[in-house]
Chains A and B, each alone.
Chain A
Amino acid sequence: GNSVTQMEGPVTLSEEAFLTINCTYTATGYPSLFWYVQYPGEGLQLLLKATKADDKGSNKGFEATYRKETTSFHLEKGSVQVSDSAVYFCALSGSTLGRLYFGRGTQLTVWP
């Protein structure tokens, strides 16, 4: 079956620190992989995605590479800002129906 395992939070960093949030997945077939971000009191926003092995998704300084050999899609950012404080969800879409399977979310707090 399809599932996503995400690094447990919360993660607390100082501004300009390096960020990694680990995400691994189990899937049948060839899923697309996503990172969504949720700011307080809001819905989810698509941050980045990758649709096939070795693809790198990137947006707003965040990156994640689709690693089929390790079934991973770790989120990274070289220098975080206070405004990056949010909950980050890793997800996969494993069927033509478009259903998403989410990880449990990782709370990131960045201090000035």
Chain B
Amino acid sequence: GAVVSQHPSRVICKSGTSVKIECRSLDFQATTMFWYRQFPKKSLMLMATSNEGSKATYEQGVEKDKFLINHASLTLSTLTVTSAHPEDSSFYICSARRASSTDTQYFGPGTRLTVL
């Protein structure tokens, strides 16, 4: 299989704090990982594309200083929401693409972030 995990699954934090979300590919190497944000009853919005060992590519309108992405190894990418505010509350989903595949992405279970 191709399993992607995310941690934590749920997090509640106070406004102004930072939150780190981890995305791991458990049984394959992922040269590319993607971070999405999903609003209620909406489709997924791609936030950024992360390649191992290089800087992430952010989509237009996504603040790179607010959503810090690190892809330090072929199995781990992290998203840090800095100085979180209530409007950052959302469902964040990562996906990973195998090194040997150019099209199929495998998705993590998502992280529900609530900022109070």
Contacts and interface: CB of A to CB of B under 8 A. Distances in A.
A51 B102 CA distance: 11
A86 to B, nearest CB: 13
Interface stretch (B42-50, B65-73, B79-87): B42-50
B60 interface: no
Interface residues of B, number: 24
Interface string B7-44: 00000000000000000000000001010000001111
Contact of A97 (B6, B41, B49, B95): B49
Nearest to A100: B105
A43 B43 contact: no
Interface stretch (A16-24, A75-83, A102-110): A102-110
B109 A51 contact: no
Chain A interface: which size bin? 20 to 34
Given A98-B97, A103-B43, A46 B106 contact: yes
Contacts, number: 58
A32 interface: yes
A99 B109 contact: no
A103 B42 CA distance: 9
Given A43-B6, A105-B43, A98 B105 contact: yes
A107 B42 CA distance: 11
Given A98-B32, A104-B42, A43 B97 contact: no
Interface in A47-100: 49, 51, 89, 93, 96-100
Interface of B: 4, 6, 32, 34, 41-44, 46, 49, 93, 95, 97, 101-110, 112
Interface of A: 32, 34, 36, 41-46, 49, 51, 89, 93, 96-100, 102-105, 107
